[in-house]
Amino acid sequence: MNWEYLIIHHTGAEEQDTEQVRRYHRSLGWRDIGYNYVIEKSGLVAPGRSLEIPGAHCRAGGMNTRGIGFALIGNLEEHPPTTEQVDALVGLLGRLMLEYQIPVENVLGHREVPGAATVCPGRYLPLEDVRGKMLKNQNNAVEASLGDSEQILLKTSTGLWIVQVGAFSSRERAEQYAQKLREQGIGALVMKKDN
């Protein structure tokens, strides 16, 4: 699998929790829940299907092997998601964009995938707002880092700009530094760089 896209869905139903979605998908004979992450109404993010195997959430565009699938519980064609769900979605997307170096233009609603005939993730999911927030977070992180960072490395490969603000020989020190950044409202992710 080569994860290049992040695909947003709604479940289209009002399930109580992720396990209910999982039981339903398994009852269809699937090996596991179709989505890679589920965001419950409380904003709880629950892991779904392993990223080591193809997903089962969007056949169009070959997205089951190219796109990580997220589902917000609810029928968002009928009502908006909860604020907690949108916040959790923005946080999760930001983390995965960084981890897999996915640019914001590859964050798509299911119906935006060419060839997908669906209303998913529903008219009440504010896709443009979500993408706008992702861009803003990226820009804020860049601006905030420029002042006092130990080391800044700006580089572009797939169109996503990565800001590196420190390099540490111990994980503990890296986590401490990341925590300092988070206290200032700057999103930070600790990643191991293999030599």
Residue 70 neighbours by CB distance under 10 Å = 26
Choose, by CB under 5 A, the member of 3, 5, 6, 9 that binds Zn ion: 9
Instruction: Return the residues of window 135-194 that contact Zn ion according to CB under 5 A.
Output: none
Binding mask 59-88 for Zn ion (x = CB under 5 A): ------------------------------
Helix 127-148 and helix 83-100: axis angle, to 10°? Answer: 60
N- to C-terminal Cα distance for the chain? 23
Determine if 111 is a binding residue for Zn ion (CB under 5 A).
no
Of 4-12, 77-85, 96-104, 132-140: span binding Zn ion (CB under 5 A): 4-12
Of 15-23, 86-94, 116-124, 183-191: span binding Zn ion (CB under 5 A): 116-124
The C-alpha atoms of residue 46 and residue 189 are separated, in whole angstroms, by 19
The C-alpha atoms of residue 81 and residue 20 are separated, in whole angstroms, by 18
Smallest gap from Cβ 9 to Zn ion, in A, equals 3
Burial 84-120 (b: 16+ CB within 10 A, else e): ebbebbbbbbbebbbebbbbbebbbbbbebeebeeeb
Smallest gap from Cβ 109 to Zn ion, in A, equals 8
* Closest CB to Zn ion among residues 72, 163: 72
* Closest CB to Zn ion among residues 60, 162: 60
Asked if 49 contacts 35 with a C-beta cutoff of 8 angstroms, the reply is yes
Determine if 25 is a binding residue for Zn ion (CB under 5 A).
no
The 3-state DSSP class for residue 164 equals strand
Smallest gap from Cβ 16 to Zn ion, in A, equals 20
The tokens for 76 are: 């968002």
Asked if 187 contacts 137 with a C-beta cutoff of 8 angstroms, the reply is yes
* Closest CB to Zn ion among residues 45, 141: 45
Of 6-14, 16-24, 100-108, 156-164: span binding Zn ion (CB under 5 A): 6-14
Q: Report phi then psi at 192, rounded to 5.
A: -90, 130
Determine if 120 is a binding residue for Zn ion (CB under 5 A).
yes
Residue number of the CB closest to Zn ion reads: 120
Determine if 110 is a binding residue for Zn ion (CB under 5 A).
yes
- Residues lying near Zn ion in the complex (CB under 5 A): 9, 110, 120
